[in-house]
Amino acid sequence: MGNQGSAANLSVVGFDSAWTDNPKAPGAICVIRVDSHGARLHMEPRLASFSEAAALIQAERREAGKCLVALDQPTIVPNRSGSRPVDKVAGALISWVGGGVQPANRSKLGMFDDAAPIWHFKQALGATEDPEAARTASAGLFLIEVFPALALVAIESAYCKRLGAPKYNPANRRMFNLGHWHAVAETIRTFGSLRALEQLERWRLDVSANLMPKKADQDKVDAMICGLIGLHWLVAPREESVMIGDLNNGYMIAPAVNGIHERLVTAARKRNVPVR
């Protein structure tokens, strides 16, 4: 934990939900707070179910005048089958670097059907889902969709090449690379340093010291990426982030520190998907 002596003006919650509400495989959540002394990692990533995350977020909302939840899960899924336009646009870049984008549609039971936990979670939060409003508002609870894999490609040029995506998912034993695991931790530390985020170096050391990470550890890493995407969206210049898609058909928020990748722009134009 960081110094908790000052009341937070802003709280950013990074939540990797794991998409389903499986007690044996919960998601992970972290909290970044910003006050007059700067930004700090208030709560290191820990495992959390949807209900536990909702309770934590509501507690944060009471502590901070403004709270943003950066969620690694599709939050707007109107399509009954196939994938959303934003998934196809992101996939144009992610597949090129050797990753994948899981398509989101309402036929996926437990993920996006009418009874899926994501919809109960959103209802329980009562957050405003308007990324641009989240940037300009002085107070309130806001929700945005983010995608850690896209963020990593955007902030680390070494990953942004043909088949360059880091293999840091321990669940994929055949592909997992411990060197990539360490590199991702360092990429996160570097990204956090742009915002002078305190406590992140200690977290990175703990992550790097884990020589046998499990899937739950990767979820925690992704929760941290989510939190940093949210912080970057709120405090960095607008041109250093991108919103792909819209609030009707689905969208993603991602860093664009080095500009918007041409593959995203080209894929978006082909599908008439806004990128801004």
Confidence label for 6 from pLDDT (cuts 50, 70 and 90)? very low
pLDDT, mean over the chain: 95
The confidence score (pLDDT) of residue 143 equals 98
Overall residue count recorded for the chain in this entry:
276
Q: Is the pLDDT at 206 greater than 80, yes or no? A: yes
pLDDT at 7 > cutoff 90: no
Average pLDDT over residues 210-228: 97
| 3 state SS of 186 | helix
Q: How confident is the model at residue 85 (pLDDT cuts 50, 70, 90)?
A: very high
Which residues have a Cβ under 8 Å from the Cβ of 267 and sit 6 or more positions away? 88, 89, 91, 92, 93, 273
Q: pLDDT, tens digit, for every residue of 151-185?
A: 999 999 999 999 999 999 999 999 999 999 999 99
Domain ranges of the chain: 10-271
What digits encode the pLDDT tens for the residues 113-146?
999 999 999 999 999 999 999 999 999 999 999 9
Tokens of 206: 């703990």
Residue 2 has pLDDT above 90, yes or no: no
Q: What is the pLDDT of residues 47-66, one digit of tens each?
A: 999 999 999 999 999 999 99
**pTM for the structure as a whole:** 0.96
Q: Are 228 and 191 in contact (CB under 8 A)?
A: yes
From 236, 184, 238, select the one nearest 213 (Cα to Cα): 184
First to last CA, the chain: 35
Query: What is the arithmetic mean of pLDDT over 73-98?
Result: 98
Report how far residue 20's alpha carbon sits from residue 141's, in angstroms, rounded to the nearest whole number.
Answer: 23
- CA atoms in the 13 A half-sphere facing the CB of 45: 26
Nearest CA among 249, 254, 270, 261 for reference residue 85: 249
